[in-house]
Structure 1
Amino acid sequence: MKIVKFQTSTKDQWGVLDGETIRSIEGDPFNGIDINDETHSLSDVTLLAPISPLNKVPAIAANYGVRDDRDGPGIFMKQPGTYQRHEGNIVFPRSCKTVIHEAEVGIVISKVARHIDEKNALDYVFGYTCVNDVSARETVDISSYPERPEIGAGITMRWKHYDTFCPIGPHIETEINDPDNLDIECLVNGKLSASGNTRDMLFNIPKLVSWVSEVMTLYPGDIIPSGCPETAEINIGDKVEVKVEQIGTLSNTVIEDY
């Protein structure tokens, strides 16, 4: 089932996408999917990022490549101003020189989760979506603070927090056969820029949900981006597409700051 958040001329609401038709639901989908009689044509509405600004996005760092005997991955937050919709614009900050894409699978939480065991973690997953964890690479320079790495780490968090730096969507897919075996691609102007598969993650989806729930309470609608296999630069004017098997394509255009 494809769950969308969308905007009509009068309000924002949630619905179930069936082909080119959206069937509206009462309230949000995390309290049960109660479909009403209201329908909309997909072409007549604007799809929104399938997340509330009140929800959080604890993103995963360094989940591909070399494990280095770590117990778990890094965690950082994407602030609500980063959330962007499918076909919305990614703003290239005027203070930055190098911006990169990071195509990821987003894990959508279904119910309150705290201190969750790995074996039960998937019981707390509502579905999955596409995420682009856009980052401003050149703002990262921990080496400037060799004696105080915590200062460097704190300063570098700005590279993740620029407005529009977390496109999400276009919908939430609730029916995934094996979330730990999904192909991920990122296309820039129609050309393959990065690719990978979630089977290559150092920490799988149950581990990620459990790991994050040990740090913070997760609530329905929170989204955990699971890390990216590869990155590459994007520039003003680029069309950036995140494609995830069984989910769909998240498309955004990079524009100049204003």
Structure 2
Amino acid sequence: MKLLQFKVADQLRLGVKTINGVLDVAKAAAELKQQTPITIDKVIQSGEDALRALEVLVDKVQGMGEAKYFLNEDAIEYAPCVSNPEKIICVGLNYINHAAESKMDVPKVPILFSKFNNALAGHKDVVHLPVAAQKFDYEAELVVVIGKTAQNVSPAEALSYVFGYTVGNDLSARDLQFRTGQWLLGKTCDQFAPVGPYIVTADELPDPQNLDIKCKVNGVLRQSANTRDMIFNCATIISYVSHHMTLKPGDIIFTGTPDGVIMGYPESQQEWLKSGDEVVISIENIGTLINKLQ
């Protein structure tokens, strides 16, 4: 199932992507008197029970052929596909070729840093670049959405704690990132964590380690890899993090970016992102995340 959030009069609404368009869950559930969670937070917290209820609602509406419950996807205003993660955890240097292009050692354990909720942005949002920086970079990433409280879990069981997966762009201001030894300042500027358009539930992606991932800037391919190229796979990352902090439903993990970022180019060839650029990130079987910069 592909879940998303969209805005109606500044209110967040839950949607399900279907062949008929985007199902407005709140509208359909209210009019059909169907007991169904109507927010993404409730769906994540309720897990399989919520997904079954959504499946029943989708089947019922599609069986009725009621077009009024479906929206044209091109006409909706997307919101970030998650609303209130307690934690936004990111993994640095998690593809061997990216570590090489960054001229950094291949890590022996996952390198973790964080972003805050102010960094969240949605599909088709215009990202406003901060005036305090100049060297803006893209990072195409598979993002894990946690579905159950995870503490001290093993790699073998780690994927059972995943609610789903989405597409992310770990936007970075490199001049701020490397101003000190701490990366935070250059990583969590406003809107520097676009995610979406959808969360694809884990049952549809049993193997997150075999997905093509690409990034284009103004139509030019900049990154092209596969998630099997990760140094630490999703299960290893989740297990590692859970041994140091408790993961909660709705937390998200950016799992790292492949090579091809601007920082990896020779200095004479580095053309940093600027106002007017469009960044398009696609991950196989999940979707395509598009953001323009301003």
Instruction: Give the alignment's TM-score, normalised by structure 2.
Output: 0.78
SS for the counterpart of 1:52 is coil
Following superposition, the deviation at residue 79 of structure 1 comes to: 0.8
Which shifted more, 58-67 or 104-113?
A: 58-67
CA contact (8 A) 1:59 1:75 kept: yes
What is the match of residue 43 of structure 2?
A: 29
Q: What's 1:249 paired with? A: 288
| CA distance 1:96–1:115, shift in 2 (3 Å) | same
Superposed CA offset, 1:211-250 (max 9, x none): 1111211111111010000212321100110110111100
**2:144 corresponds to:** 107
**Residue matched to 1:238:** 277
CA distance, structure 1, for counterparts of residue 10 and residue 94 of structure 2: 41
Moved more, 11-20 or 203-212: 11-20
List per-residue Cα deviations over 1:42-97 (Å, max 9, x = no partner).
34532211112343211111111159574421111111110000000122111111
Structure 1 residue aligned with 2:94: 63
Q: Number of residues paired by the alignment? A: 245
Return the offset for 1:17.
1.1
1:221 to 2:237 alignment = no
TM-score normalised by structure 1 residue count: 0.88
Query: CA 1:109–1:89 in 2, change beyond 3 Å: closer, same or farther?
Result: same
Listed as ranges, the matches of 1:95-244 within 5 Å are: 95-141=132-178, 152-154=180-182, 156-174=183-201, 175-230=204-259, 231-232=261-262, 233-244=272-283
**Change in 2 beyond 3 A, CA 1:120/1:54:** closer
Q: What percent identity do the matched residue pairs reach?
A: 35
Q: Which structure is higher in strand share?
A: 1
**In structure 1, how many angstroms separate the alpha carbons of the residues matched to 2:134 and 2:106?**
34
Greater C-alpha Rg: 2
Question: What letter is aligned with 1:13?
Answer: R
CA RMSD across the alignment: 2.0
Q: Which amino acid aligns with 2:22?
A: T
Q: CA–CA distance in 2 between the matches of 1:9 and 1:79?
A: 25
Residue 62 of structure 1 aligns with an amino acid whose one-letter code is L
- Aligned ranges for residues 81-96 of structure 1 at < 5 Å? 81-96=118-133
Q: Displacement, 1:5?
A: 1.5
The separation in 1 between residues aligned to 2:197 and 2:94, in whole angstroms, is 23
Unaligned runs of 5+ in 2: 26-35, 62-67, 263-271
